[in-house]
Chain A
Amino acid sequence: MNDHDLEKYFRTLEINKDTSFTEMKNSYILLRNLYSKTDLGISPLINSLSNKRQKNIVKEIDEAFSMLEKYFNDKKMEKIKSKEEKFAKSRIPEYEVIGGEALRMTRNVLGFELEEIAFLSGVPLKHLTNIELERYDLLPPKVYIKTFLKKFAEQLSLDPNKVVNDYLKRMDDFHSKN
């Protein structure tokens, strides 16, 4: 939907861009009733409309409403998403170095079960569990770990590269110590 069309739809429903969804809907109902003559109002002139013109107006009103409904829904979804992200970010504890614990904490704050992450990311549950618990010796070869970590990080809206780098560094440190 380009700006020009959008403007046209707003104009058809006789509202401006700052109008709320409810008002938009109210305006639509009013106009729909008025021009489809279901509302026996007292306004003359409507009766002098030709059938064709009247139908056209109703059609335009309907089209404008369905398009604007979509526009408002999209806008709402965007808002919810950005709000959620902001909310999540504001509560996720900041970790300088991301290890298993940081991953688990972030996941909990976001309200994900590990099973959900497994489902969404396609990473087998047991590997996710081992990643979180830092059971390094039970983990598969590094190439796999890298992919798993990336997918895990994506689900948690974390920076995948940072997660991979931090995690592998901690793992290497652990190995070199033991």
Chain B
Amino acid sequence: MKTRKNEIWAVGGGKGGTGKSFVISQIASYLASSGKKVILIDTDFGGANLHSFFGIESRNKTIKDFYKYDEPLESLISKTKIKNLEIIPGDINSTIFDVIKYNKKIRLFSHIKKLNADYILLDLGGGFNKNILDFFLLADKMIVVTIPEITAIENLFQFIKSTFFRKLNFLFGIYGLKDYSKNIWKNRKDHNIVTILDLIDYVKKNAGEVGDIAFKDLSKFKINIILNKVRDSSEIKEGFSLRSICIKLIGINALYSGYLEYDSHFWRNLSMTQLSPEINISLKTKKDIKRVVTNIINNTQIKTEISKNE
């Protein structure tokens, strides 16, 4: 058997309704159409909807079966209408995942790693419970999808901050400072800390050598930002702002992989009939997706464009 690249891309981003599943299904379709073998896993435990994008009706087997009945991961794979693209659907109303232990997650992850594909895409679903954060942190490429709306962006930052602190705690734990940042946050009044930014500053200044090592490790950590449902150039620009805030204020490396213009045509069609996404999207969206994927693969980002009147 041909050895495949097996790179894991996780797509998260906090709030539901930002079009994560749409974006990820487009990314998957694009990669598949360029000849890569792609497996898409819907890890949206409880609110799965990825299957809708591929017109998969019977969802007898889902990711839940891996946990509950120890079904091998391979047996959960469903074919789609698109060549090279397979999917493991998620569960619509399971609550079992709320209590997954870390080692179980690691087990699922090691099984995911063994799947035979070039790219394995994880649709993490909305929210930011520990399951989602851990999957996000274990991936080779961390991707967030958001829309240019204040509530969505607030949610995104909450997601990024949560991820950041989970990773920071994890790193501090390795170096024997478990719960260090948690405790500081608990006693934040004593340290004159009001915002999360103050906390980061405080940790940077006071955690000594361990802090230096941890933050050095964190600088390798890179988030790829995709802005969805963009309508005009000022909204396109928001992606750069998001990136800058990640870099300057949170201390996480980030790249603005690209944006997708609002595709009303697609949404209208999806609500009427559930068709394969390949047929429905506009050429513009296809181009947007191509750019996003190319940037993610190459660790690059879109170029800044400024209108003349600025």
Q: Does B251 contact A (CB under 8 A)?
A: no
- How far is the CB of B69 from the nearest CB of chain A, in Å? 43
Q: Is the interface of B mostly helix, strand, loop or mixed?
A: helix
Interface string of B234-251 (1 = CB under 8 A from A): 000110111111011100
Residues from chain A with Cβ under 8 Å of B196 in the complex: 48
| Pairwise interchain contact A29-B306, C-beta atoms closer than 8 A | yes
Give the tally of cross-chain contacts (CB within 8 A). Answer: 58
Q: Take A30-B304, A49-B197 as given contacts and tell me if A43 and B238 are in contact as well, using a CB distance cutoff of 8 Å.
A: yes
Residues from chain A with Cβ under 8 Å of B241 in the complex: 30, 34, 41, 43
| Pairwise interchain contact A41-B304, C-beta atoms closer than 8 A | no
Q: Does A1 contact B (CB under 8 A)?
A: no
How many residues belonging to B are interface residues under a CB distance threshold of 8 Å? 26
- How far is the CB of B66 from the nearest CB of chain A, in Å? 37
CA distance A31 to B249 in the complex (A): 13
Q: Chain A residue with minimal CB distance to B243? A: A14
Q: Does B195 contact A (CB under 8 A)?
A: yes
- How far is the CB of A7 from the nearest CB of chain B, in Å? 14
Q: Take A34-B241, A49-B197 as given contacts and tell me if A44 and B157 are in contact as well, using a CB distance cutoff of 8 Å.
A: yes
Name 30 A/B residue pairs within 8 A (Cβ), A-sorted. Answer: A14-B243, A14-B244, A14-B248, A23-B303, A26-B305, A26-B306, A27-B304, A30-B240, A30-B241, A30-B244, A30-B306, A31-B244, A33-B310, A34-B240, A41-B237, A41-B241, A42-B148, A42-B149, A42-B153, A43-B238, A43-B245, A44-B150, A45-B157, A45-B197, A45-B245, A45-B249, A48-B195, A49-B197, A49-B249, A57-B248
Residues of B at under 8 Å CB distance from A? 148-150, 153-154, 157, 194-197, 237-238, 240-245, 247-249, 303-306, 310
